[in-house]
Amino acid sequence: MQKIPHVLDVRGLSLEAGRTGIRILRNISFDVRPGEIVGIVGESGSGKSMAARAVMGLNPPEIRQTAGAINFEGRDVGILAKRDLRALRGARIGMVFQEPMTSLNPSMTIGQQLEEGLRLHVKTTRQDRQDRILQILDQIGLTDPKAALAAMPHHFSGGMRQRIMLASVMLLKPALLIADEPTTALDAVIQRDVLELMVSLTRESNTAVLMISHDLAMVASYSDRVVVMAQGEVVEQGATSQLLAAPRHPYTQKLLSALPRRAAARVIPAASVPRVEVRGLVVDYPGRGGLLRRGAPKRALNGIDLSVQPGEILAVVGGSGSGKTTLGRTIAGLIAPTAGEIRFNGAPVGTARTSDRAYRLNCQMVFQDPYSSLDPRMTIGALVAEALRHTPGLSAQARHARVGEALDEVGLSADFAPRYPHQLSGGQRQRVAIARAIAARPQFVIADEPVSALDVTVRAQVLHLFADLQRRHGFSCLFISHDLAVVEQIADRVVVMAQGRVIEQGSRDAIFDTPREGYTRDLLRAIPTLFPTEQGGVRPGWRLASGA
Amino acid sequence: MKDISPGALCGAVLTGGLLAVALLGAVWTPFDPMALNFAARLAAPDAVHWLGTDEFGRDVLSRLFAGATTSVWISFVTVALAVSAGTLIGVISGYFRGWTDRVLMMLNDALLAFPGILLALGLLAIFGANQYGIVLALGLGYTPTVVRIVRGTVLSLREREFIEASRVMGNSDTYTMLRHILPNCIAPLTVLATSMFGWVLLAESALSFLGLGVPPPEPTWGNMLASGRPFISQAVWLAIFPGLCISFTLLGVNLLGDALRDRLDPRMRR
């Protein structure tokens, strides 16, 4: 049957956690052929990273393989001696990790780190090693490869480090590259560059790629075949375009239907006085001091003008370092502006410590990380009730009722009130955070990446909930996100930020369909997207592919 | 959660035993720990005096009971003093940061530069050698350690979003510190206070041994050890039993501290 030999052939693999006997993987099978890109997608807890690590023999000893076999180039990795396994790692199987900031050794020069692998696995002269290293550094787009040899990792940006990581792995021309969330920590524009580099480097040496990610759109755009995992099992696998066009398994269907889609545009009438208005906002962070002198201040926001209309969701998008989070925190009063003005219903507001009551009662915030935004020592009921502390004229009884009401509204119930945050899932916690934000019926809510920490299906639910609540209560919202797909679904208007400035703003449809600025176009082009098809599936593609 | 390690059990039993003896010693001892009985000087352990008598014929077991009461009382009050003062300073320092933090930390670092016992020795010279002097001296001596740990905890808590959430809700700094910061410091503080109880007990014994602690005839394990030392060749029980008491107490408290740390504060696990 098998005409093409597999590089990797995983058959009926089951893993169990040592003492507890919890099954981590159940009878999973997939294979990777030479030069092929296979993507494993799944939500957190699906076991996708465990599967990849098992191939490398990298799982901690408590995790036992109870059944199945991992055949790499015809040899069973599971029963290989440690020595043979070490010889495989690096030389035949390379791995790129998620976090470029920590996967390079900060105390070694780039040259030393690249040479390390070569010296270990390839018998050749020092001169030849140097040549190979310089060649690949040139290939990954370093302007001065010779100088880079002596440079330390901290001299490079995250994207560049991930390229260097990729170079160090591809230097040995392995038969298989395992990329575990290789670009999750990177900005959209850089993400595309790194992935394209990965594809070109691996194609050149006919290296197969096993790409693990939660990002279905990214996996779909780059891989030939997709393996969908859920709760330790492979639920569906097949050629990417076929699988996405006609998903058979209910989980895959659920995953695809959970993808953000553009909602119908709403008409928000411009009020005479905007709910929130920001004029000429400047924020400087104090410079990082030297030993004796303080460095020059760093300008995080550089003259921001924007306004949020009553009942409108204004999205702020931008890469990391664009200042979008600083903007949200400044408007919330957590950071004192260096210059400029914030007006609420026409009246200027101060900082969190001095600002007037009306604004404090009416401006609430939903944070990104539901694991750190709820005090672990307080019950859900107490957490939501706390938001009502400053609401005037509310009896203890009325407050109690309002807490139950708020929990009902976010799809939990009053039964959750006595529980503690650690007893809840991430999605439930974020619902609590939303309940807390809306309990006092604020006129304005700042949501800083409210769904970024959530899994695809949960994200869809929470996003729906948020949009529903916004429609019901009519609060204005500043929605900060790096995720364009989410913004496309929920925003009425969009502000694009880069380097502390507003690059472009306009209605959602204008920004997404006819962006004017080059930066906005780059941003839109960088993000792989799944477009719905008539058959109920999706097809991968790129935005603005046809346009300028 | 149900499984208790043998170490934890051992620690709990030893520490529980110590507290029981200390409580008992406050209300009842087999003999009057201060009563002299020259007829039975340096008597070896027997059926009447289970652990023998000292050079004045006082019952060693009774004195150990009474000493436990004194030692536990001193340690307890000292730890309470150090923890409350340290927590107050640590929370303020970590929460407000800026120059408040810088000034407080400078003072704290200066105090930390002395070993606790050395600092206590100096302070005792000022306060005078009695129970209250010891409590004050050791309390001040151990406060900087608490400040360090609390401040570190607060600094990391401060970056958590629920602290910002509290500010966005319009809560005052005092409320945020009391409601959100302090309860989240309790786990590391419990662990610290337990092991500190052991350190203070040892320090108190050492000071009393040096004659700088609780003055005789009031018994403490430390001064019993000191007064037994000249007779070590004739009456070895005078030094052995207080020494064993100190060792087992420390063992118990340390085991309990480790168990608490593992349970309450997994991040500190070594």
pLDDT tens profile B10-30: 888 888 888 888 888 878 777
Q: pLDDT > 90: what percent of chain B?
A: 16
User: DSSP label at A59?
Assistant: S
A237, A206 contact by CB (below 8 A): no
- Residues A331 and A220 reside in one and the same domain: no
| Token pair recorded at residue B152 | 């570190």
A313, A490 contact by CB (below 8 A): yes
User: DSSP label at A291?
Assistant: S
Which residue of A lies nearest to B157 if distances are taken between CA atoms?
A372
The number of distinct structural domains making up chain A is 2
Which pLDDT belongs to residue A548? 37
- Residues A242 and A292 reside in one and the same domain: no
Q: Which of A3, A175, A20, A155 is nearest to A95 (CA)?
A: A175
SS3 A494: strand
- Residues A299 and A442 reside in one and the same domain: yes
Which residue of B lies nearest to A363 if distances are taken between CA atoms?
B168
> Is the pLDDT confidence value at B266 over 70?
no
Identify all chain A residues contacting B169, using CB atoms and an 8 Å cutoff: 360, 364, 386-387, 389-390
Identify all chain B residues contacting A399, using CB atoms and an 8 Å cutoff: none
A28: part of which helix (H) or strand (E)? Answer: strand A23-32
Q: ipTM, 2 decimals?
A: 0.73
Identify all chain A residues contacting B166, using CB atoms and an 8 Å cutoff: 375, 386
- Residues A238 and A166 reside in one and the same domain: yes
CA quadruple A218, A219, A224, A230: dihedral, nearest 10? -160
Find the range with the poorest average confidence among A342-346, A504-508, B42-46, B201-205: B42-46
**Domain harbouring A349, CATH code:** 3.40.50.300
Which pLDDT belongs to residue B265? 59
How far apart, in whole angstroms, are the C-alpha atoms of residue B206 and residue B226?
A: 9
A494, A508 contact by CB (below 8 A): yes
First to last CA, chain B: 19
Identify all chain B residues contacting A363, using CB atoms and an 8 Å cutoff: 168
Q: Are strands A339-344 and A93-96 parallel, antiparallel or unpaired?
A: unpaired
Identify all chain A residues contacting B168, using CB atoms and an 8 Å cutoff: 332-334, 352, 363-365
Which pLDDT belongs to residue A229? 93
B52, B41 contact by CB (below 8 A): no
Within a domain: A532: no
- pLDDT tens for each residue of B59-90: 888 888 888 888 889 999 999 999 999 999 99
> Is the CB of B184 less than 8 angstroms away from the CB of A374?
no
- How far off is chain A from B161, nearest CA to CA, in Å? 4
φ/ψ region of A340 (left if φ > 0, alpha if ψ in -120 to 50, else beta) reads left
A259 Cβ neighbours under 8 A, 6+ residues apart: A216, A217, A456, A460, A485, A530, A538
- Residues A299 and A430 reside in one and the same domain: yes
Identify all chain A residues contacting B184, using CB atoms and an 8 Å cutoff: 375-377
Q: Which residues of B touch A (CB under 8 A)?
A: 160-162, 164-171, 173, 179-180, 183-184, 186
Within a domain: A522: no
Among the four given CATH numbers 3.30.420.130, 1.10.3720.10, 1.20.1250.20, 3.40.190.10, the one describing domain B6-25+55-268: 1.10.3720.10
Q: Which residues of A touch B (CB under 8 A)?
A: 329, 332-334, 352-353, 357, 360-361, 363-365, 367-369, 372-378, 386-387, 389-390, 433, 436
> Is the CB of B183 less than 8 angstroms away from the CB of A375?
yes
- Residues A240 and A315 reside in one and the same domain: no
> Is the CB of A368 less than 8 angstroms away from the CB of B161?
yes
Which residue of A lies nearest to B156 if distances are taken between CA atoms?
A372
CA quadruple A460, A462, A463, A469: dihedral positive or negative?
A: positive
> Is the pLDDT confidence value at B48 over 50?
yes
- Residues A245 and A294 reside in one and the same domain: no
- How far off is chain B from A250, nearest CA to CA, in Å? 36
Identify all chain A residues contacting B186, using CB atoms and an 8 Å cutoff: 377
Which pLDDT belongs to residue A290? 56
Q: Which of A220, A177, A225 is nearest to A197 (CA)?
A: A177
- Residues A197 and A302 reside in one and the same domain: no
Please name the residue that has the structure tokens 């933090």.
B101
Considering only the beta carbons, identify the residue of A352, A372, A390 that sits closest to B167.
Answer: A352
The b-or-e profile of A115-129 (16+ CB within 10 A means b, else e) is bebbeebeeeeeeeb
CA quadruple A407, B157, A463, A43: dihedral positive or negative?
A: negative
> Is the pLDDT confidence value at B1 over 50?
no
- Residues A202 and A60 reside in one and the same domain: yes
Identify all chain B residues contacting A375, using CB atoms and an 8 Å cutoff: 162, 166, 179-180, 183-184
| Token pair recorded at residue A520 | 């906005």
Report the mean per-residue pLDDT for chain B. 84
CA dist A60 → A18, A63, A105, A179 (Å):
10, 6, 21, 19
Q: At what angle do helices B221-228 and B182-209 cross, to 10 degrees?
A: 20
Q: Which residues of chain A have pLDDT under 50?
A: 1-2, 352, 547-548
Q: The sheet that has A339-344: what strands, in order across it?
A: A298-308, A276-285, A339-344, A347-348
H-state helical runs in B28-170: 60-96, 98-112, 116-127, 131-158, 161-168
- Residues A214 and A84 reside in one and the same domain: yes
Which pLDDT belongs to residue A288? 65
Query: What single letter denotes the amino acid at residue A225?
Result: R
* B140-166 mean pLDDT: 89
- Residues A213 and A286 reside in one and the same domain: no
Considering only the beta carbons, identify the residue of B161, B168, B184 that sits closest to A364.
Answer: B168
- Residues A360 and A321 reside in one and the same domain: yes
Within a domain: A64: yes
Task: Render A64-100 in DSSP notation, one character per residue.
Answer: EEEEEEEEETTEEGGG--HHHHHHHBTTTEEEE-S-H
Which pLDDT belongs to residue B270? 37
Q: The sheet that has A363-366: what strands, in order across it?
A: A363-366, A444-448, A476-481, A313-317, A493-498, A501-507
Q: What are phi and psi of A17, to 5 degrees?
A: -80, 130
> Is the pLDDT confidence value at B216 over 80?
no
Domain that holds residue A479: 276-513
